Amino acid sequence: MEFKNWILDRLFGVALDENEGEEAREETLQEECIESEEQPAQEEQQLVKKPAADPLGLSWDHPFIRLYDLWTEQEVNAPLPRLRLDQWEDTPDGALEQELAGLRKALTLVAADRLEKIAEGPLGRSSDERDDLLKDILADEDDLSEKQEVLESEKDTSGEQDGEETKEAEQVELDALPLVYITEDQLSAWLIVFPPVGRGKELEQSMLERVLEESNVCFGVDTELVEALADKTDRYFHLFSIAKGEPVLHGKDGYIEDFFERTVKQKFAENEHGKVDYFNLNLVQNVEKGDVICQLVPPVEGISGRTVQGKEISCKAGKSAALPKGQNTEVSEDGTKLLAIKSGRVEFSGKGFQVKSVLEIDGNVDFSSGNINFVGDVHIHGDVSSGFTVRTVGDITIDGVVEAAEIEAGGDLIVAKGISGDSRAVIRAHHNIYAMYMENCSVHCRGNLQTDCIVNCDVYCDGEIQVRSGRGTIIGGRVRAARGITSKIIGSKSESITAIYLGGQPCADYERAFLIDSIEKLEAEMEKVERQPESPARTKRMAKIRLDLSVGRMKLAQFDRELKKLKEKIEEQGGSRLRCDLAYPGMVLTIGDEMMHLTKETSLVNARLIEGEIRLL
């Protein structure tokens, strides 16, 4: 018992009391070893649990332990056995248990067989009886202690004395026996060597080479270990990793990397104060012609593995993915990217990405849709509610009414039921505008403007304004047109002031005036910053102001050149003129630098600038 306690204390870090029962001893053997009893209690709590020193769970009556006991009687300084499988600590529990069971059976078979040979026969048994007993040991290791007791009792009844048994055991000659265990996946081979008995031969390199050859272990062999193991002090009862295979790396399937969402969800943006902007829902995904919608990530080729027995483990090849091509998209020349062939909105239809050049809004532009910012055409089947914005590179068609909203079209703007702006609506179009009526709004039109009625509006038109259909009236406000105005009625019987401006380039003039104002503000700010003391912030601010001023002045020079060409073109076409069926007093007509106040009701007005004077023809 003292010898076993010494072994327990050295190998597992525990010792058994003589009064402990069998159940208590088994529980003690399952406890995990602690590296040092001197570590502080706090550090012990932080230790990561490690597998027990003996993951096989061998009892002290196991043949392997009994063989070690016999060997230590001959070897005074015998090193401790080691059965740790450090490389298997990350193995899944189920696979680890399976491998441990296989290794335990292999050790049990060899150790029990050597014990039988040491016992000479063993102990009067025939070879058939010995084989039957060996099978029983392997079949049920839990009854191992009982079967060992049977062997001990038969040894006692044989009539041999203890001294004679030792003498006969010494006469047994068993060479050192290396055992190779190959794991289930055949990617690892483990080696354990049983020491010689009696006058048997010590471990030799040739023994290791022979057992490896018999086990067909030929790949990934640790040749340094094979050459040096015979001289190691811990060569016996020590589990070594003798060979490692090459694990297989299966190929990975290719996949599609999307640059646009397949399912668009509402996204509420917050400002720096945490306030949510409910007007911008970001429901539209814009794409420009030639943009990459998604790209193909090719599959990764697999790498075949090899077992420790030299057998190849075939790998699974990765599968290629297909680009989800849809309407108005095309595959790039190298076949790896999906491109948009026109600008518009990206949608995923369930089978592929498609680009729609027209954005359809079934209802109103309100909190259900949010602001619209699109690179194609937009068709709104309802109204545009107050406070919302619709911007697009293409045309905008609105079937309903535009309230106090902001509309900007890169092409034409069509408003079927008119604009009621509440003096807050801003309407811009880079081409033509068509609306049933316009009331209390600011309008900027690069092309021609056509409507039934203009009431109290601030209009800038670089083309021609036609108010001939429907009521055909222009009442109040300021209306500017580069090429002329045609209307049924201008002004009202109440003689409300209606300002008409002809010539020039109203939109460009407005932008030019705005740009000049911005330049003047930047110059004033520069003078203010120059008076400040030198500092990194001042230097940084001055550099930004100079850059903004340079850009602004360049834009202003470009405006002036374009305006000069446009004015010359208008003069070649005969200048601009005003035509109306009836004009009421209160109309103020300005052509170029000349101004005329209409003081009486006038029919069939045809006004133009002749020889520096406005004449009504």
Most confident of the ranges 80-89, 336-345, 427-436:
427-436
Q: 207 and 145 in one domain?
A: yes
Both structure tokens of 272: 């720096």
Q: Quick: pLDDT tens for 380-412.
A: 999 999 999 999 888 899 999 999 999 999 888
Both structure tokens of 423: 């003096």
| pLDDT at residue 43, rounded to an integer | 38
d(CA 422, CA 404): 6
Whole-model pTM over 0.85: no
- Mean pLDDT (the chain) is 78
d(CA 218, CA 211): 11
| pLDDT at residue 42, rounded to an integer | 39
State the average pLDDT over residues 98-118.
83
- At 239 the three-state DSSP class reads coil
Is residue 138 a part of any domain in this protein?
Answer: yes
Q: What's at 272, amino acid-wise?
A: E
Domains contained in the chain, number: 3
State the average pLDDT over residues 361-372.
88
Q: 454 and 547 in one domain?
A: no
Is residue 61 a part of any domain in this protein?
Answer: yes
State the average pLDDT over residues 77-101.
70
Both structure tokens of 358: 């027209």
Predicted confidence band of residue 91 (pLDDT cuts 50, 70, 90): low
d(CA 579, CA 563): 25
Q: Quick: pLDDT tens for 134-169.
A: 455 445 444 544 545 544 554 454 444 444 444 444
Predicted confidence band of residue 278 (pLDDT cuts 50, 70, 90): low
Q: 228 and 142 in one domain?
A: yes
Is residue 260 a part of any domain in this protein?
Answer: no
Q: 582 and 552 in one domain?
A: no
State the average pLDDT over residues 209-218.
90
The strand pairing partners of 499, in sequence order, are 478, 588
Q: How far is CA 298 from CA 249, 251, 332, 391, 540, in A?
A: 16, 11, 15, 38, 47
Q: Residue 106 sits in which domain range?
A: 50-241
Boundary residue ending a domain (241, 275, 296): 241
**19 pLDDT above the threshold of 90:** no
Is residue 80 a part of any domain in this protein?
Answer: yes
Comparing 111 with 43, the larger pLDDT belongs to 111
Q: Quick: pLDDT tens for 563-599.
A: 777 666 655 555 688 999 999 999 999 987 888 998 8
**128 pLDDT above the threshold of 90:** no
Share of the chain above pLDDT 70, in %: 76
**16 pLDDT above the threshold of 60:** no
Is residue 285 a part of any domain in this protein?
Answer: no
| pLDDT at residue 25, rounded to an integer | 38
Q: 482 and 517 in one domain?
A: no
Q: 525 and 498 in one domain?
A: no
Q: 610 and 517 in one domain?
A: no
d(CA 259, CA 526): 43
d(CA 453, CA 606): 20
| pLDDT at residue 105, rounded to an integer | 85
Q: Quick: pLDDT tens for 20-40.
A: 434 433 443 344 333 333 333
Is residue 148 a part of any domain in this protein?
Answer: yes
Are 59 and 145 in contact by the 8 Å Cβ rule? The answer is: yes
Is residue 68 a part of any domain in this protein?
Answer: yes
Q: 233 and 87 in one domain?
A: yes
By DSSP bridging, strand 453-455 and strand 473-475 are: parallel
State the average pLDDT over residues 481-504.
90
Is residue 37 a part of any domain in this protein?
Answer: no
Q: 548 and 407 in one domain?
A: no
- At 559 the three-state DSSP class reads helix
Residues 6+ apart with CB under 8 A from 234: 79, 82
State the average pLDDT over residues 220-236.
88
Q: 133 and 103 in one domain?
A: yes
d(CA 482, CA 194): 108
Q: Considering only 55-69, 148-162, 538-552, which range has the smallest mean pLDDT?
A: 148-162
State the average pLDDT over residues 423-439.
93
> What are the φ and ψ backbone dihedral angles of 182, each rounded to 5 degrees?
-105, 130
Q: Quick: pLDDT tens for 169-199.
A: 446 788 888 999 888 888 888 898 988 888 8
Q: 535 and 493 in one domain?
A: no
| pLDDT at residue 440, rounded to an integer | 95
Q: 526 and 500 in one domain?
A: no
| pLDDT at residue 175, rounded to an integer | 87
